[in-house]
Amino acid sequence: PARHFDTKTTEPISFFLSSLEELLAWKPDSNDDFNVSAVPLAKRQPPLHSRRPRTLVCHDMRGGYLEDRFIQGSATRNPYVFYHWRYIDIFVYFSHHTVTIPPVCWTNAAHRNGVPVLGTFITEWTDGEKLCEAFLAGGAEAYRAVAEQLARIAQHYRFDGWLINIENTLRAVGNLPHFLRHLRAQVHSMVPGGLVIWYDSVLQNGALKWQNELTEENRVFFDACDGLFTNYNWKEEHLERTRALAGQRHTDVYVGVDVFARGDVIGGGFDTDKSLRLIRQHGLSAAIFAPGWVYEHLGEENFLHNENKFWGSLAEYLPTHSICTLPLATSFSLGMGTSRFLDGKEEESGPWYDLSAQEIQPLYPEREGRLSTSCCLQDAWCGGSSLKVQGTIPAGEERVAIRLFSLQMPAPPKLFLTLLYKLEGLHPEDLVVALEITTWDSGTCYEGNMTSLPEPNGRHHPRFLPAPPPGLAKLLAACNRGSHGWISRCYELDLQNCSLRDLSLLVSRHQPSLQEKPFTCLLGEVRVLDAASMAASPPQVQNVSASQLWWQ
Phi, psi (degrees; rounded to nearest 5) at 229:
-105, 110
End of a domain among 285, 318, 351?
318
49 domain residue, yes or no: no
Instruction: Looking at the structure, tell me whether residues 203 and 348 fall in a common domain.
Output: no
Instruction: Looking at the structure, tell me whether residues 222 and 187 fall in a common domain.
Output: yes
pLDDT for 340 equals 97
Instruction: Looking at the structure, tell me whether residues 214 and 303 fall in a common domain.
Output: yes
Contact by Cβ (8 Å): 362, 405: yes
End of a domain among 318, 346, 364?
318
- 106: containing domain: 54-73+85-318
33 domain residue, yes or no: no
End of a domain among 260, 286, 318?
318
48 domain residue, yes or no: no
181 domain residue, yes or no: yes
CA distance 287 to 305: 23
CA distance 21 to 139: 17
pLDDT for 480 equals 65
CA 139 to chain centre: 40
pLDDT for 487 equals 92
CATH number at residue 58: 3.20.20.80
156 domain residue, yes or no: yes
Number of structural domains in the chain: 2
The three-point CA angle 518-379-382 to 5° equals 120
CA 191 to chain centre: 19
pLDDT for 458 equals 84
417 domain residue, yes or no: yes
pLDDT for 454 equals 56
261 domain residue, yes or no: yes
**What DSSP string runs through 56-86?**
EEEE--TTS-SGGGBTT-B--SS------GG
pLDDT tens, per residue, the chain with 552 residues: 889 999 998 899 999 999 999 999 999 998 989 999 999 999 999 999 999 999 999 999 999 999 999 999 999 999 999 999 999 999 999 999 999 999 999 999 999 999 999 999 999 999 999 999 999 998 899 999 999 999 999 999 999 999 999 999 999 999 999 999 999 999 999 999 999 999 999 999 999 999 999 999 999 999 999 999 999 999 999 999 999 999 999 999 999 999 999 999 999 999 999 999 999 999 999 999 999 999 999 999 999 999 999 999 999 999 999 999 999 999 999 999 999 999 999 999 999 999 999 999 999 998 877 899 999 999 999 999 999 999 999 999 999 999 999 999 999 999 999 999 999 887 767 899 999 999 987 778 888 865 555 555 688 999 888 777 776 776 666 566 678 899 999 999 999 999 999 999 999 998 888 999 999 999 999 999 999 888 777 789 999 998 888 776
Instruction: Looking at the structure, tell me whether residues 277 and 338 fall in a common domain.
Output: no
Instruction: Looking at the structure, tell me whether residues 105 and 210 fall in a common domain.
Output: yes
CA distance 482 to 381: 9
**What DSSP string runs through 223-255?**
HHSSEEE--S---HHHHHHHHHHHGGGGGGEEE
β-pairing verdict for 55-59 and 285-289? parallel
Alpha-helix runs per DSSP H in 303-409: 303-314
β-pairing verdict for 117-124 and 446-447? unpaired
What pTM did the predictor assign?
A: 0.96
pLDDT for 427 equals 75
Instruction: Looking at the structure, tell me whether residues 186 and 296 fall in a common domain.
Output: yes
Instruction: Looking at the structure, tell me whether residues 292 and 347 fall in a common domain.
Output: no
Instruction: Looking at the structure, tell me whether residues 115 and 198 fall in a common domain.
Output: yes
Long-range contacts of 234-239 (CB under 8 A, 24+ apart): 234/266, 235/266, 236/278, 238/212, 238/213, 239/213, 239/278, 239/279, 239/281, 239/282, 239/284
Q: 337 has which bridge partners?
A: 352
Long-range contacts of 137-140 (CB under 8 A, 24+ apart): 137/171, 137/172, 137/175, 140/175, 140/178
Instruction: Looking at the structure, tell me whether residues 473 and 522 fall in a common domain.
Output: yes
**Sign for the pseudo-dihedral over CA of 36, 38, 40, 42:** negative
CA distance 259 to 10: 36
In 10 A of CB 338, how many CB atoms? Answer: 15
Instruction: Looking at the structure, tell me whether residues 377 and 447 fall in a common domain.
Output: yes
Instruction: Looking at the structure, tell me whether residues 237 and 96 fall in a common domain.
Output: yes
Instruction: Looking at the structure, tell me whether residues 202 and 62 fall in a common domain.
Output: yes
pLDDT for 481 equals 66
CATH number at residue 471: 2.60.120.260
Dmax (CA) of the chain: 79
309 domain residue, yes or no: yes
pLDDT for 483 equals 83
